[in-house]
Chain A
Amino acid sequence: MDRASAGAAAGNDERAVLMMDFLVELWRFMRVRKKFWLLPILIMMVVFGGLVVLTEGSAFAPFIYTLF
C-alpha cells in the first residue's frame, strides 16, 4: 500500500470510528432523556443526513422534500 492510499484508509477508519461514537452517544442521550419515540425520526434523518453530506446537499434535496 502506498502512503497516499494508507492515509486515505486511515481517514476512512477514523470517520467510521467517529460515526460509531456519534451513534453510541445518540443512543445514550435517548436513554437518559427517555425519548425513544425520536428514534425512527432520527434514523431517517441520519440516513438521509449521510446522503446529504455525501452528495453535498443540492442534488439530493428534492428527494428529501418529497418524503417530508
Chain B
Amino acid sequence: MRILGISAFYHDSAAALVEDGRIVAAAQEERFTRKKHDASFPHNAVRYCLDAADAKLREIDHVAFYEKPFLKFERLLETYVALAPRGFRSFRMAIPLWLKEKLFQKSLLRNELREFDEDFGSEKLLFAEHHLSHAASAFYPSPFDKAAVLTMDGVGEWATTSAAIGDGNRLEIFQEIHFPHSLGLLYSAITYYTGFKVNSGEYKVMGLAPYGEPKYAELILDHLIDLKPDGSFRLDISYFDYCTGLTMTNERFAKLFGQPVRSPDQLLTSFHMDVAASIQAVLEEAVLRLTRSLASRSGVRNLCLAGGVALNCVANGKVLRDGRFDRLWIQPAAGDAGGAVGAALAAFHQFKSGPRNIAATDGMSGALLGPEFSQSQIERRLTACGARFAVLDEDDMIEATAKALSDQLAVGWFQGRMEFGPRSLGARSILGDPRPPTMQKNLNLKVKYRESFRPFAPAVLREDVADWFELDSDSPYMLIVADVTKHKRRAMSAEEQSLFGIDKLNITRSEIPAVTHVDYSARIQTVSTETNPRFHRLLTRFKARTGCSVLVNTSFNVRGEPIVCTPEDAFRCFMGNELDVLVVGNCVLRKSEQNPDLKQDYSSAFDLD
C-alpha cells in the first residue's frame, strides 16, 4: 500500500511517500522553489516523491494531510469569540483567508492533486490531527517497539503539547495541553522580543543563551508561565498578543522586562543574552518536568520526541542525561515538514492497521530521503553551468577533500540523497576544520553571511564520539547537545574568564574551538558507516591526516537561502560566497580555477531569516 503524506499551507510544506510502512521519499518544497519556509502546496515535492517511487498518483492508495482544517477553524473562531471585541484586526485578516481558501482545504487539495491525476477523487484524502502526525513521525520510524511519545510545538489545531504511548503499530494520545498555553509560543514570544523572526529565529535564541545568565528565569516563572510539578503549565495570556493581535507580545510584556522589543538591526546586548538564557532555562525545566512525569506514568524506558520544540537540542541533551529514559529518539524533521511523514505513517498504521517493521537503526534512513543525482547527471549539469572540474575516482576524491580540509579550506560537500529536515547531515553540507581558532568567525561572516555569535555543529565518527564529547550514544541527526570532554578543553586565564557576551567567542576554549560553544557545549552529529558511508570515509581520512575525527558541518546555503538541492544550486552558492572547494559526487571544483565572470553577488540575494 502506498500513501502520500502532505503538509502545507502554514509553513515548511513538504511531501513524503510511504510504501507498506516504509518511508521511500520525503522532501520540503522550499528546496525546489528556493523560497525559505515555502508554505504553498508542495507540487515539486509531490512530483519528486512520485518519481522516487516510480509511481503515478492514480497508483497511490491514499493521500494523508497533516492536520484537520475544521478543528483549526474551530479554535480560531472560539478564540475570537472568547476574547471579543479584542482581536478584531486579527479576525479581519484571518477570516477572509479562511473563507476563501483554508476552510475548503479538501477541495483545494483535490484540485491541486488533479495536476498529477485528472481523475483524482477526494475519497482518497485522509486527514490526521496535527499532533497525531507529529507523534506518528516520532514513534513509527523509531527503533522502539514500545515507547512514550512527547510532542511539543507552537500550536496545531488545539493541542500544543501531547503525550502518547506507542506500542507495536498502535499509538494512543492520552494527554494534551491546549492553546493558548504553549511552550513553543512562549519561546517564539521571546524570539520576537529579542528581535528575531518567529518560526525561524528560535535557533538563534538557543545559540545566544550560553552568552547570558538566566537572570529573568524567576520573572518568567512568576509572571508568564505557571509551571506545575508534573510539567503541565498555563501561560498568563495578558502578557501576550498572539491570541488577538498581529504580534507575539504586548506592552505589558515589554514593561515586565523593562525594555522595548528589539528591532532586528539593533545591537544585541547582554540584556538580550540574559533573556535568551532565561527562556532556555525555563524551557529546559518545563521539558524535564514533562519527561519525568511521562516516565513515571508510562513505565516505559524509551522516549520519542517531535514537534518544533524537539528541535531544541540543548533541552534534548538534558532529557537524555536526566536518565529517566534509557533511550531517546527524535524525529529529524521534528517541525511541520515532518508532519507529512507522520500523516502518511498514521494513515498506514492507525487507519489501515498496517503492520510495523522496526528497523535496527531507525526508519528514516539517516534522513537521506531527498533527490539524488548520478555521476553522469552531475557532470552534465555542472558543465551546463560553465563549471570547471576534475573527475576523480572515489578514493582520490576523498583524499583530495580531506587534504583541502586539513589545509583549512572551506569545502562544499554534495553527495547522494538530500536530507529531509532542517539539518545538513553530510549530504548537502559545508565542511571545515574545527581546530583553527578563526574558523568559526570566518565561516559565519565570509561563507554563511550570518551573525558571528552562532556556533557550528561538529560531525564526529560514531566510534570516536566519547573521545571528544561527554556522550556515548547515537546522535545521527544533530539533535543532542553535550559538552566537549574535559581533556580536550583548554583552561582559560582569569582575564579570559572575566569577559562576557560575544567577547567570549574569540577565546580558544578547546582543541576544536570552531564547534565549541562558550559554555563548552556542542550540537553533535555522530556519523556511522550504516547511514552515511561516504561521509564516514571522509572523516576517517581526515582523522588519518590530522588525528582529529571531527569536522565542522553546517548547512550548504547562505543566510536566508534554503539548503541547496541540485548541483546547479550548489554551484551558484559556491560562486556566490567564499567557499574554496566544492565536491559534487566525484567532481572536485576549486574556486581559483573557475571562470571569474560566473561569480555572483550572493551576500544580499536572499531575505535575511
Residues of A within 8 A of B (CB): 18, 21-22, 25-26, 29, 33, 35, 38, 41-42, 45-46, 48-49, 52-53, 57, 61, 64-65, 68
Contacts and interface: CB of A to CB of B under 8 A. Distances in A.
Contacts of B596: none
Contacts of B78: 38
**Chain A contact residues: helix, strand, loop or mixed:** helix
B100 interface: yes
B99 A52 contact: yes
A45 B95 contact: yes
Nearest to A45: B99
Interface stretch (B103-111, B171-179, B421-429, B479-487): B103-111
A35 B106 CA distance: 21
B132 to A, nearest CB: 16
Interface residues of B, number: 18
Contacts of B95: 45
Contacts, number: 41
Contacts of A21: 106, 122
Q: Which 9 A-B pairs have the closest CB atoms?
A: A49-B99, A29-B70, A18-B107, A52-B99, A53-B100, A45-B99, A52-B100, A52-B96, A57-B96
B83 interface: no
Contacts of B106: 21-22, 25
Interface in B298-336: none
Interface of B: 70-71, 74, 77-78, 81, 88, 91-92, 95-96, 99-100, 103-104, 106-107, 122
Contact of B100 (A18, A25, A33, A49): A49
Given A21-B122, A26-B70, A29-B70, A61 B107 contact: no
A49 B91 contact: no
Nearest to A26: B70
Contact of A35 (B74, B99, B100, B104): B74
Nearest to B101: A53
Given A52-B96, A53-B100, A57-B100, 6 more contacts: A21-B106, A22-B106, A38-B77, A45-B95, A49-B103, A68-B88
A33 B75 CA distance: 12
Contact of A25 (B70, B81, B92, B99): B70
Given A26-B70, A52-B100, A68 B91 contact: yes
A35 B88 CA distance: 22
12 contacts: A21-B106, A25-B106, A29-B70, A29-B71, A33-B71, A35-B74, A38-B78, A52-B96, A57-B96, A57-B100, A68-B88, A68-B92
A41 B77 contact: yes
A13 to B, nearest CB: 14
A41 to B, nearest CB: 6
Nearest to A64: B96
Nearest to B122: A21
A21 B104 CA distance: 10
Contacts of A33: 71, 74
A29 to B, nearest CB: 5
A61 B97 CA distance: 12
Contacts of A61: 96
Nearest to A46: B99
Residue among A22, A33, A49 with most chain B CB within 10 A: A49
A38 B74 contact: yes
Contacts of A53: 99-100
A57 B78 CA distance: 24
A29 B74 CA distance: 10
A43 to B, nearest CB: 12
